Amino acid sequence: MRQIGVCLLSCPSGFYGTRSPDRNICTKCGPECDSCFNKNFCMRCRAGYYLHQGKCQENCPEGLFRSDTQRECVSSCPAECDTCVNSDTCTRCRSSFYLQQGQCNQVCPEGFEPNDKLMECTHQVHCEMSEWSEWSPCSNSGRTCGFKWGEETRTRKVILHPSHLGQPCPPISETKECIVKKRRCPGDKRKGERRGERRNRNNRRDKEGRRERKKEKEQERERDTGDREDSEKRNKTEHRRRRGQNIDPVSPSPAQ
């Protein structure tokens, strides 16, 4: 074959050979062909074109799909695809397969996890936490005085919640024991005075109540004594009256 003054055993890529009694030459393929059999029949298309029946075209006929690896129009999607853009790129997977970058996988690759709602492999998200706060003042049941042993607390916040299979969040708070010099709370003295006042009032009320009860008992005893005396007087009077009725009257004696 003769090309640009050089004789070759075969034509280079992008050319096809023609023979005649006078000369054999290499002729350039069409602009969309990477290699061809003749000027009307391509065998491989350039990038961006897809081979169908010897022709290179940008879009495949209806019912066929583009294969970027083969640069051809193929008749169907890959077996695991439900729909596809071409034979290498799926847009939706069949049941039990998860879509990830145009490929359908039964098991998502490392760093991804299956999303049953989207039927896709999505990036795993791990929990992210803020920095710890400062330790709180030592306290006991909400008080910061009037005790020796207490607790200090520090907290942190969740910045990013994890996905289903991501690393879970650790605790958001921590506590530790603490010791403080026992001291009286500022209001304890006044509280003690108020408690003493209440005790005094209660004592006075108790004393007054005891006096009232004693007085009532004395009055009740007096009433009981008076009632007994009245009853005894009535009984004596009744007894004398009955005794007088039982004595027969004395008849006058006959004159002597």
pLDDT, tens only, 177-229: 988 776 667 665 555 566 667 777 878 888 887 888 888 888 777 777 766 77
Q: Which runs of E-coded beta strand occur in 119-222?
A: 120-123, 128-129, 149-155, 158-160, 173-179
Alpha-carbon torsion 19, 23, 24, 29, what sign? Answer: negative
Q: What distance lies between CA 100 and its chain's CA centroid?
A: 28
- pLDDT for the residue numbered 56: 92
Q: Per mean pLDDT, which range of 104-108, 133-137, 178-182, 228-232 is the poorest? A: 228-232
**Bridge partner residues of 121 (DSSP):** 114
Per-residue pLDDT tens digits for 120-131: 999 999 999 999
CATH code: domain 76-123 is 2.10.220.10
Alpha-carbon torsion 74, 78, 81, 87, what sign? Answer: negative
Residue 140: pLDDT band (50, 70, 90) is: confident
Fold match, 1-66 / 76-123 = yes
Residue 17: pLDDT band (50, 70, 90) is: confident
- pLDDT for the residue numbered 245: 62
Q: Where are the domains of the chain?
A: 1-66, 76-123, 128-179
CATH class as words, domain 1-66: mainly beta
Mean of per-residue pLDDT scores for the chain: 81
- pLDDT for the residue numbered 129: 95
- pLDDT for the residue numbered 222: 75
Please tell me the number of Cα atoms within 13 Å of 155 on its side-chain side: 5
Per-residue pLDDT tens digits for 144-174: 776 778 889 999 999 999 998 899 999 999 9
Contacts of 64 (CB under 8 A, 6+ apart): 52, 73, 74, 75
Record: fold of 128-179: TSP-1 type 1 repeat (2.20.100)
- pLDDT for the residue numbered 256: 39
**Dist CA 178 CA 140 (whole Å):** 10
